[in-house]
Amino acid sequence: MKVAYLKEAMKIVVKDDAKIPEISDDQVLVKMEYCGVCGSDVHFYKDGRVGDVAAPPDFVLGHEVAGEVVKIGAAVKNLKVGDKVALEPGYACGKCEYCKTGRYNLCPNVIFFADPPVQGALKEYVAHPADMCFKLPENMSTEEGALVEPLAVGLHATALGGVGLGSDVLILGGGCIGLVTLLSAKARGASRIVVVDLYEKRLNMAKEMGATEVINAQKENVAERVEELFDGKGVDFVFETAGAIATIQQTPYYVKKGGTIVLVGMAAESMANYNFHRLW
Ligand SMILES: [Zn+2]
Ligand SMILES: [Zn+2]
């Protein structure tokens, strides 16, 4: 089968050199149809690393995937051949303190696509635990299915922050994660959702998806606009979804007293100066 290898920064080579993986009794074999490109994939591609984590040789990217089940293990009961599925990219141990307390996203033993040394899913076939493959409804394509993973990020971020009925929300970054955070905040009943980005195309999409206001950081002074929109009080919830040090550093300036900052994005650098005094 074909696999896309990251040979070095800025160089991906597709080779037809891998064996179709064998499946164990509790796994299914999924033929990949769509794979999203995450910000973390872009960091690995551009810099060969994300923060302290370097891409190993012949690294395979991709973790936002959906496809079709082509083979099932002997013990699999929840899926059949032909089912379209979205894959959960992480497989937790189910045994540790975090898993036992229902926070399996924090499992230290997790096996996660494209998280070194675990390879990602930019390949033709993936063997995956059946209980981490979610069957898509008939009216959903695998292209939409590949967006389930980023959508889950937005849902988790807004749940973690505690966005609720009547909340005011500021989202820094109007990329995929910014937009799914917007959708999730809206679903949780937020009143005003303001999206900040550098690109008009993204801001138009944000408006289409329900942003009440948008701010173009290339043309407008974001601090002034936030001040004006929220009567100088700041915003209940500030979500950083751009994954840049500059936007992380802005968060304490926009949040309201007693408000909440949620850092969703992953910056390429590990360290950043941050004005904690604003929060004190
Ligand atoms: Zn991702
Ligand atoms: Zn665990």
Predicted model pTM: 0.89
Q: Which of 210, 258, 264 is nearest to 235 (CA)?
A: 258
Ligand 2 centroid, distance to 190 Cα (angstroms): 33
Amino acid at 132: M
**89 CA → ligand 1 middle, Å:** 9
CA 108 to centroid of ligand 2, rounded, Å:
6
C-alpha span between 192 and 198 (Å, rounded): 20
Q: What is the whole-number distance in angstroms between the Cα of residue 111 and the centre of ligand 2?
A: 10
Q: How far is the CA of 113 from the centre of ligand 1 (A)?
A: 10
Taking residue 150's Cβ as centre, other Cβ atoms within 10 Å add up to: 20
Say how many Å lie between the CA of residue 103 and the centre of ligand 2: 8
**At 133, which helix (H) or strand (E)?**
strand 133-135
DSSP annotation of 84 reads E
Interval between CA 280 and ligand 1 midpoint (Å): 32
pLDDT of residue 39: 86
End-to-end alpha carbon distance in the chain = 55
Query: How far does residue 196's CA lie from ligand 1's centre (Å)?
Result: 20
Distance (Å) from CA 40 to ligand 1 centroid? 6
Rounded Cα distance between 224 and 231, Å, is 10
Q: Which residues pair with 105 in a beta bridge?
A: none
Mean pLDDT in consecutive groups of 10 residues from the start of the chain, 280 residues = 97 97 98 94 93 93 98 98 97 96 94 95 97 97 97 97 98 97 98 98 98 98 97 98 96 97 90 94
Ligand nearest 44 Cα, by number?
Answer: 1
